[in-house]
Structure 1
Amino acid sequence: MNDNKASVRRLRLYRKVHSILGGSLFIFFILISVTGLLLGWKKHSGGYLLAKSYQGVSTDSKSWLPIDSLKQIAFQTLRDSVSGDLSTSLDRIDIRPKKGMVKFVFADHYWGIQLDCKTGQVLHIERRRSDFVEHLHDGSYWDSLLQLGDEPAKLLYTTITAVALLLFSITGFYLYYGPKRIRQQKQGKQTVNSNFMK
């Protein structure tokens, strides 16, 4: 009987933890699931989330313009075609040797410029929506928005959501398994009692 009472108490505790986690972190779970789904589909979004990588005229790197020249073209394109007020601080330069193309990805906003490595021609000006979705998904968006160094918001966000999801899974499993176990214990005791009465 004591085992049964202890199991019921544990079940109530797990149900309480489960409902508190579910209620308090509902927004985070929705955000993670929606952004995760979008990231999974980004290559199949018809260029809306992730822009197509365009082809340059030559894959022979000896014929390419120097990176400095390409960088100046990308900066000028950003100023002329998007906005003169945007920062030209770079997050990365992504060279695609097999395509003869280079992407300039900016650090302080979600724009990117694709250039032909040989001619410097602008192949595409892209709105990097997948980067925005990724930053929402991992929590780093809040660090950039609040200009926090060392990504404390991302670390806090990922720790809270990961631990909560782990606890949610454990308590969810026990909420599924616990009642079955209690029923089995009751049936086992009834069998013992009926055998004893005989």
Structure 2
Amino acid sequence: MKGRKKREQQAKILRIFRKVHRTTGALLFIFFFLISVSGVLLGWKKDSFGIILPETKEGSTSNLTDWLPLDSLHDKAVLVLRDSVSPDLSSSIDRIDVRKEKGSVKFIFEDHFYGIQLDGATGDVLSIGKRHSDLIENIHDASIIDNYLGTSGVIKVFYTTIMGIALLIFTVTGFWLWYGPKQMKKKR
């Protein structure tokens, strides 16, 4: 009688875990789909032959003493953006990525997804490209909604917290849904 009661209790726990697993999956399906697809794309970004992320080009020298001052390179990048992409785009810089070993500097702009790569020594344009990886990253962590609404990261933190907890719940309930029946059969 005692063994039967224990099996009933285990079966009840399994049913609860199955319901939590199913409900969580149904409620968060679209978010898990977006995270998985964007995660795969982000994993491939450097191996996408320049489709997702423009390839880093080689400049003429990696010797920093031969490079132009950063403010001159910045002015050149803004000029290239205005002349070669669009005069209407914001020239506000998100970050400057110095690739000393490659002899190049990447200027990544804040309000759009263009990047300009310049030779650090000559200021010559090495590449003008759309950085699709930045858009994909913003979708992946929901910061695209923060940017749209101007909520300064609040949605990103909420979203990543919810999705992290959901993944933890999926891991625990999924493991128990696999392990629980094995335990019940073993005890029979």
| TM-score of the aligned structures, taking structure 2 as reference length | 0.93
Matches within 5 A, 1:1-198: 1-149=4-152, 151-185=153-187, 187=188
1:109-131 deviation digits (Å, cap 9, x = unpaired): 11110011122111110111111
CA separation in 2, counterparts of 1:4 and 1:100?
67
CA RMSD of aligned residues (A): 1.2
CA separation in 2, counterparts of 1:116 and 1:45?
23
Q: CA deviation at 1:63?
A: 2.2
Q: CA deviation at 1:60?
A: 2.3
CA separation in 2, counterparts of 1:43 and 1:63?
28
CA separation in 2, counterparts of 1:104 and 1:32?
27
After superposing on structure 2, the runs of 4+ consecutive aligned residues of structure 1 that deviate more than 4 Å are none
Give SS of 2:95's match.
strand
Percent identity of equivalent pairs: 50
1:78-113 deviation digits (Å, cap 9, x = unpaired): 111111111111111111112221110111111110
Give SS of 2:84's match.
helix
- Paired residues in the alignment total 185
Task: Name structure 1 gaps, 5 residues minimum.
Answer: 188-198
Give SS of 1:53's match.
coil
Once the two structures are overlaid, the 10-residue window that deviates more, 79-88 or 174-183, is 174-183
Q: CA deviation at 1:73?
A: 0.9
CA separation in 1, counterparts of 2:137 and 2:114?
14
CA separation in 2, counterparts of 1:9 and 1:55?
63
| TM-score of the aligned structures, taking structure 1 as reference length | 0.89
